[in-house]
Amino acid sequence: LKTQKIGLVFFSLYSNGYTVYLFHAGTMTFTQQGDTFEESSYVYILGNHILAEAGTCIAKLIALEMSKQTKAPIEETQKKIWLVDSKGLIVSSRKESLQHFKDPWAHGHEPIRNLLDAVKSIKPTVLIGASGIGQTFTKEVVEGHLSLSIFAFYKPVSLALSNPTSQLECTAEQAYSWSNGNAIFASGSPFDPVEFSDRVFANNAYIFPGFGLGLIMSGAIRVHDDMLLVASEALAAEVSQENYDTGLIYPPFSNIRKISAHIAAKVAVEAYEL
């Protein structure tokens, strides 16, 4: 992640994946509503083919936030984040054949070829899909994730980043039905509300309006990583316990003006302090 000039911000944020920051806000909500970065077993990223670099952007952002929250060196927080690509779990024994952007995420572990076995071994707190391959989060993967003992205390989180819907790792309906309504799910594709066991699940979010307003308010000429982290944190802070209890990790879209104002204020303050 790099400091970026404002003149390029909307293009470059989109091309790098502004969705990266949106999904980071989702992981922030999870840590604020129960689990913490210190308690979290592992955050899990899935990246395949040309979208693999997007997955490593998410990984780096989460590692930066972990470092900020726990005061641990980023080299340590990176060890809590595991990636899977088309050849399986990214481990140190594969380093010679890895693309350069995957190198920081090659940890010591025996090779594992498939996602289900990796989930059972690593026991991730959060599954994040950035694969561009539909139905990667199979029924067995979702059920295997839910069965981990760590979820006796809080709900598993599945974030399906890929779009369009045909390339989504799993649908909202699948995530809720396969987990008996116990999963927290968000996606990069739109869905109608899903009804399961007399409960209605839905999700929605935006970072762009508030972030852009914060840049204008502050008169900033460059975008720094810390400003993007603050925007993610501000969005996560807008999620109430009531929202979270109904399966939301983003605040309702009906509150977008208030949410955007809150994000803008935080971004502007951070810009002045940098």
Name the burial class of residue 189, with classes exposed (0-12), middle (13-18) and buried (19+) by CB atoms within 10 angstroms of its CB: middle
- In angstroms, the CA 38 to CA 80 distance is 10
- Binned at pLDDT 50, 70 and 90, residue 140 comes out as very high
- In angstroms, the CA 140 to CA 178 distance is 9
Mean of the pLDDT values across residues 225-247? 84
Pairing, β 222-223 against β 4-5: antiparallel
Angle between helices 9-16 and 208-218 (to 10 degrees): 140
* Composition of the chain by helix, strand, coil, percent to 5: 55, 15, 35
Cis peptide before 209 (omega within 30 of 0): no
What pLDDT shows up at residue 23? 63
| CA distances (Å), origin 267, targets 8, 222, 224, 229, 253 | 17, 12, 10, 9, 20
Q: What is the mean pLDDT of the chain?
A: 79
- In angstroms, the CA 239 to CA 143 distance is 26
What pLDDT shows up at residue 69? 80
Q: Which residues have CB under 8 Å from 198's CB, separation 6+?
A: none
Token pair 């979010």 is at which residue?
A: 205
What structural domains and CATH numbers belong to the chain?
A: 1-33+205-274 (3.40.50.10380), 40-203 (3.40.50.720)
Per-residue pLDDT of 5-26, as tens digits, reads 444 344 333 334 455 566 667 6
What pLDDT shows up at residue 112? 94
4, 13 Cβ separation under 8 angstroms: yes
60, 267 Cβ separation under 8 angstroms: no
Per-residue pLDDT of 142-165, as tens digits, reads 999 988 866 665 677 888 877 788
- Binned at pLDDT 50, 70 and 90, residue 208 comes out as confident
- In angstroms, the CA 126 to CA 146 distance is 11
83, 59 Cβ separation under 8 angstroms: yes
Q: Which residue has the higher pLDDT, 218 or 242?
A: 218
- In angstroms, the CA 235 to CA 217 distance is 18
Structure tokens at 254: 């009906």
Does 204 carry a binding-site annotation? no
Q: Which residues have CB under 8 Å from 138's CB, separation 6+?
A: 116, 170
- The helix or strand, by DSSP H or E, that contains position 51, with its residue range, turns out to be none
- In angstroms, the CA 237 to CA 212 distance is 18
